[in-house]
């Protein structure tokens, strides 16, 4: 990031802190939903794959927290409110329906993670941070694609009414969450600007 004055550097740091915290909260949204899905899945193969992906989310948390600390900020290990709770509720609603319903709920939550990381990864961050966010975005895209493939194998692919309805719900759910979370991100940036040194 280039800056023309000390004030611009601080403003850039405030915006960067808010971006990273928004992504950290996205990860905190995902972890409880993963735990619920893993605990309820009947298929050992599906459970094991989600456990691998949950570990990737845990690595994302550590990496994002380190970046926030490097900026002089304090990572806030909390989900988005209220959207994080709604994402968990969506996952919990799928539990009684078995593996298909669990993965349908999972796709609804993963769509937003994939889209949000892709947007952040496309921004002009410093090269090292850009590389990190691109790796995270690739992970999220892989998680989403895997879930779609798994659903295809369970008879709920894109060509089915259930698969199409799930994708529509995922877009609606994710887009709505993005709007609410953008307000929280703006509040974080405003707070970071107020706390800047004089």
pTM of the model: 0.92
Peptide bond into 63 cis (omega under 30): no
Q: Which range marks the domain in which residue 47 is found?
A: 6-194
The number of domains in the chain is: 1
For residue 121, count CB atoms less than 10 angstroms from its CB and return exposed for 0-12, middle for 13-18, buried for 19 or more: buried
Q: Is residue 81 part of a domain?
A: yes
What per-residue confidence (pLDDT) applies to 138? Answer: 98
- Asked if residue 1 belongs to a domain, the reply is no
How do the pLDDT tens digits run along the chain, 198 residues long? 433 333 444 458 999 999 999 999 999 999 999 999 999 999 999 999 999 999 999 999 999 999 999 999 999 999 999 999 999 999 999 999 999 999 999 999 999 999 999 999 999 999 999 999 999 999 999 999 999 999 999 999 999 999 999 999 999 999 999 999 999 999 999 998 888 654
Residue 128's H or E segment, with its range, is helix 127-153
Burial (0-12, 13-18, 19+ Cβ within 10 Å), 153: exposed
The CATH number of whichever domain residue 128 belongs to comes to 1.20.1260.10
Phi, psi of 109 (to 5 degrees): -80, -40
Q: What is the pLDDT of residue 197?
A: 52
């Amino acid at each position: 990031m280039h800056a023309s004055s000390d004030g611009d550097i601080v403003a850039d740091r405030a915006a960067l802190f808010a971006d990273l915290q928004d992504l950290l909260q996205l990860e905190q949204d995902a972890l409880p939903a993963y735990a619920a899905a893993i605990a309820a899945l009947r298929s050992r193969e599906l459970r094991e794959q989600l456990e691998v992906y949950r570990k990737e989310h845990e690595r994302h948390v550590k990496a994002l927290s380190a970046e926030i600390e490097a900026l002089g900020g304090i990572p806030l290990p909390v989900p988005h409110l209220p959207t994080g709770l709604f994402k968990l509720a969506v996952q919990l609603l799928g539990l009684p329906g078995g593996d298909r319903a669990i993965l349908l709920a999972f796709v609804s939550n993963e769509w937003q993670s994939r889209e949000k990381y892709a947007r952040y990864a496309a921004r002009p961050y410093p090269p090292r941070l850009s590389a990190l966010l691109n790796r995270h975005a690739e992970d999220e895209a892989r998680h989403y694609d895997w879930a779609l493939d798994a659903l295809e194998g369970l008879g709920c692919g894109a060509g089915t009414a259930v698969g199409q309805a799930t994708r529509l719900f995922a877009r609606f759910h994710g887009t709505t969450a993005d709007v609410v979370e953008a307000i929280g991100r703006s509040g974080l940036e405003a707070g970071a600007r107020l706390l800047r040194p004089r």
